[in-house]
A and B are shown apart, each in its own frame.
Chain A
Amino acid sequence: MVTLEPPIEQLPCENLIYSRPESLAEIQTHYCPGCTHGVAHRLVAEVIDELEIQERTILVAPVGCAVFAYNYFDFDSAEAAHGRAPAMATGLKRVNPNSIVFTYQGDGDLASIGIAEAIHAATRGENITVIFVNNAIYGMTGGQMAPTSLIGQVTTSSPTGKDAALTGMPMHIAEMMAPLPGVVYSVRRSLHDARHTIQAKKAIRTAFEAQIQGLGFSIVELLSSCPTNWKMTPLDAAHWVRDEMIPVYPLGDFKVAEPLQNKNRSA
Chain B
Amino acid sequence: MSKELLKGNVAIAEAAVRAGCEAYFGYPITPQTELLEHMSKRMPELGRVFLQAESEVAAVNMVYGAASAGVRVMTSSSSPGISLMQEGISYIAGSEVPAVIVDVMRGGPGLGNIQPSQADYNQVVKQAGHGDFHPIVLAPSTIQEAIDMMVLSFDLAEKYRTIVFLVLDGAIGQMMEPAELPPMQEVKKKRPFWALSSQEARRTNGELPQKNVITSIHLGAEALHKFNEHLQRKLAQIEANEVRYYENYMEDAEVAVVAFGTAGRVAETAVKTLRAEGVPVGLHRPITLWPFPEKRLQELADRVKAFLVVEMNAGQMFHDVREAVGREVPVEFLGRMGGLIPFPTEVEAEVHALWRRTEVLEMHRP
Contacts and interface: CB of A to CB of B under 8 A. Distances in A.
Contact of A90 (B62, B196, B198, B203): B62
A55 B198 contact: yes
Nearest to B71: A95
B215 A79 contact: yes
A233 to B, nearest CB: 28
Contacts of B22: 95
A120 B56 CA distance: 13
Interface string B183-226: 00000000000001111100100001001111111000000000
Contact of B69 (A54, A79, A96): A96
Instruction: Tell me what chain A mostly uses at the interface: helix, strand, loop, or mixed.
Output: helix
Contacts of A76: 196-199, 211-213
A84 B213 contact: no
A92 B65 contact: yes
Interface stretch (B47-55, B151-159, B263-271, B355-363): B47-55
A77 B196 contact: yes
A221 B198 CA distance: 27
A94 B91 CA distance: 20
A92 B69 contact: yes
A78 B61 contact: no
A55 B53 contact: no
A29 interface: no
A260 interface: no
Interface in B39-73: 49, 51, 53-55, 57-59, 61-69, 71, 73
Contacts of A93: 65
A79 to B, nearest CB: 4
Interface string B2-24: 00000000000000000000110
Given A55-B203, A77-B211, A95-B69, A87 B62 contact: yes
Nearest to A85: B61
Contact of A91 (B69, B199, B215, B217): B69
A91 B25 contact: yes
A95 B49 CA distance: 7
B61 A87 contact: yes
B188 to A, nearest CB: 11
A219 interface: no
B64 A117 contact: no
Contacts of B88: 81, 84
A146 interface: no
A251 interface: no
Given A74-B211, A76-B211, A91 B196 contact: no
A89 interface: yes
Nearest to B53: A87
A77 B211 CA distance: 8
Contacts of A96: 69, 196-198
A257 interface: no
A99 B73 CA distance: 18
Contacts of B53: 87, 120
Contacts of A81: 61, 64, 87-88, 91
A67 B211 CA distance: 17
B214 A55 contact: no
A55 B208 contact: yes
B65 to A, nearest CB: 3
Interface string A27-38: 000000000000
A116 B61 contact: no
B211 A91 contact: no
B224 to A, nearest CB: 14
A167 B6 CA distance: 53
Contacts of B65: 60, 78, 87-95
A61 B22 CA distance: 24
A120 B58 contact: yes
A254 to B, nearest CB: 22
A75 interface: yes
B199 A75 contact: yes
A230 B69 CA distance: 39
Contact of A88 (B61, B203, B213): B61
B214 A78 contact: yes
A264 interface: no
Contact of B196 (A74, A78, A116, A120): A78
B54 A116 contact: yes
Contact of B66 (A54, A60, A84, A92): A92
Contacts of A120: 53-54, 58
Given A75-B211, A116-B55, 18 more contacts: A55-B200, A70-B215, A76-B198, A77-B214, A79-B215, A80-B61, A84-B87, A84-B88, A87-B58, A90-B51, A91-B23, A91-B73, A92-B66, A92-B68, A94-B49, A95-B66, A96-B69, A116-B57
6 contacts: A56-B200, A91-B63, A91-B69, A95-B69, A96-B196, A120-B53
Interface of A: 54-56, 58, 60-61, 67-68, 70, 74-81, 84, 87-96, 98-99, 116-117, 120
Q: Which 4 A-B pairs have the closest CB atoms?
A: A91-B65, A87-B61, A79-B215, A91-B62
